[in-house]
Chains A and B, each alone.
Chain A
Amino acid sequence: MRTAAPHVGAGHAPAPTARSSWPVELDRVCVTYPNGTRALRDVSLRVEPGEMVAVVGLSGSGKSTLIRTVNGLVPATSGTVRVGPHQVTALRGRALREVRGHVGMIFQGFNLAERVDVLHNVLVGRFAHTPAWRSLLGRPSAADRELALRALDSVGMLEKVWTRAGSLSGGQKQRVAIARALTQEPGVMLADEPVASLDPPTAHAVMADLRRINAEQGLTVVVNIHLMDLARQYTTRMIGLRAGEVVYDGPAPDATDADFEQIYGRPVQPRDVLGAGA
């Protein structure tokens, strides 16, 4: 299998389009875990619709927590989170699931069901829009199927539709995961260290995919990343987190090494950059 993923788009159908792009707004959000760890301290920020934002910080800085408060996977201890027209922090149960249905998310570990074929992994993205009995019977509606196939086509994975996810390469898995998120027809796309498990060329290809989705569809993208060069190259705005607090917020391409040292709280090291890829 080729390792370098081709750039999405050329020769493929366009990705399923978001109905509308949503802003994300955090107001004085604190998260304290049951074991006493204070992961976020009084974080306030606003991401405009169609922005592509990098959240930068060392591991343990609260990046993962921040991104998970947006779709309520981690409930905020205090403060409010708004996504588009919804106040996530006020919702529970069915209403919360409905909002999550419109917020796409991709993960460092891809989080695919490895023994399940690609199509059904992608159909996970339709959960919130599918009646329970359809999921129980394993019979997707024609429209859901169409959305899933179109999303797969847009990341160049259509020919793998019947392959088990476990037998794909890392880059292919992440593209299937992107297709899963696109199938949700999201208003916001969240990405938690999407390239940390990939080799450099594949990492660049996946970042380029996210960039292209953002550019073509105007979809809001929030991506957690710890590599300086990827943040500079692919995103427009950068938010720096240290010990659960926002310590930097500015345009990403112009961020200097000094800015990164301020975010990391230590001198820049070679492992903070990925290096040239494809």
Chain B
Amino acid sequence: MSAATVTSPRVDPPVTRTALPPRPSRLWPTLWALVVGAVVLAAAAGLSITWDELPALPGKVAGYLRLMFADPSWDKLPRALLETWRSISMAWTGAILCVVASLPLGLLAARGVGPAWLRLGLRACFAVLRAVPEVVLALVLLTVTGLTPLTGALALGIAGIGTQARWVYEAVESVQEGASQAVRAAGGTAAHVTRWAIWPAISPTVLSFALYRFEINIRTSAVLGLVGAGGIGSMLSNYTNFRQWDTVGMLLIVVVAATMLMDTVSGAIRRRIMEGARVRDVGRGA
């Protein structure tokens, strides 16, 4: 179409092969890729999955999706909304518990705040807590508080401490040394340093992480319902076991809508908090 493409290319003598530096060896990347691929294939082959049923799978799943969403049953909606609120309550109280516990613990575990033995001990505890699934914690707690939302809230609160406290001490350690030194130079105690140098610097981050914990808990609280802690998860589990697909469809819609709504609200507040922090940093805040 263009005039320039019509002219034939000039024939130049080829660049001599000797002028071209040798291409770096691709042997190791290729070998690694082959090893990873082989391991994945071996893992897939080792799973007890009847692979010849796989082609029929999409059709099967599509059939169930039609059962669930073609005509979801809205009869149980009021009950579902109540259970959703119960899950949100679980998530919120769990988040508060978790944040209240992790703040002092995380502060003590930060470098330069507590003694080394305490720091290492706490960090080991956090690592263990991070590795314990919430569901396992809930199963232990069930024997104390029974099949109630309180079990869920406690499980969320305790299981979250591992990660939340880690965020706190990481935030503390990323604070610039300057402010702390100024307070110490003026004769301040460790408590003064914490209140007037560390807290102002980390408070927006910590608040934002607290809300983020709530968002995580919203998802996990539905999971805890599956093992009997009440809330929307319990209801979903029951109706799935009854194979009442139209109600399951309605419940899934409620779960998705509630989660996305909470994410949006909490995300908007988090952005406000972090933006406020930035404005104050450059001293334009009024």
Contact = CB atoms under 8 A, between A and B. Distances in A.
Same complex origin of A and B: yes
Contacts of B7: 19-20
Contacts of A99: 2
A19 B4 contact: yes
Given A86-B2, A102-B2, A161-B21, A17 B10 contact: yes
Interface of A: 13, 16-17, 19-20, 22, 84-86, 95, 98-99, 102, 143, 146, 149-150, 153, 158-159, 161-162, 185, 187
Contacts of A85: 2-4
A158 B19 contact: yes
6 contacts: A19-B7, A19-B10, A22-B4, A85-B3, A102-B2, A158-B19
Chain B interface, DSSP helix/strand/loop, else mixed = loop
Given A102-B2, A150-B12, 7 more contacts: A17-B10, A20-B4, A84-B3, A143-B9, A146-B14, A146-B15, A158-B20
Q: Which one of B4, B5, B9 has the greatest number of beta carbons of chain A within 10 Å?
A: B4
B23 interface: yes
B243 to A, nearest CB: 45
Contacts of A22: 4
Name A's interface SS: loop
B282 interface: no
A172 B39 CA distance: 42
Contacts of A102: 2, 4
Nearest to B8: A19
A98 B6 CA distance: 13
Contacts, number: 45
Given A19-B7, A20-B7, A161-B20, A98 B12 contact: no
A19 B14 CA distance: 18
B15 A13 contact: yes
Given A98-B2, A102-B4, A162 B24 contact: yes
A159 B20 CA distance: 7
A273 to B, nearest CB: 35
B23 A162 contact: yes
Interface of B: 1-5, 7, 9-10, 12, 14-15, 19-21, 23-24
B18 to A, nearest CB: 11
Contacts of B10: 17, 19
A187 B19 CA distance: 28
A109 to B, nearest CB: 26
A83 to B, nearest CB: 10
Nearest to A142: B14
Contacts of A161: 20-21
Given A20-B7, A143-B9, A162-B24, A98 B19 contact: no
Given A17-B10, A19-B7, A20-B7, A98 B20 contact: no
A94 to B, nearest CB: 9
Nearest to A14: B12
Contact of B15 (A84, A150, A185): A150
B2 A159 contact: no
Contacts of A13: 12, 15
A216 to B, nearest CB: 14
Contacts of B24: 162
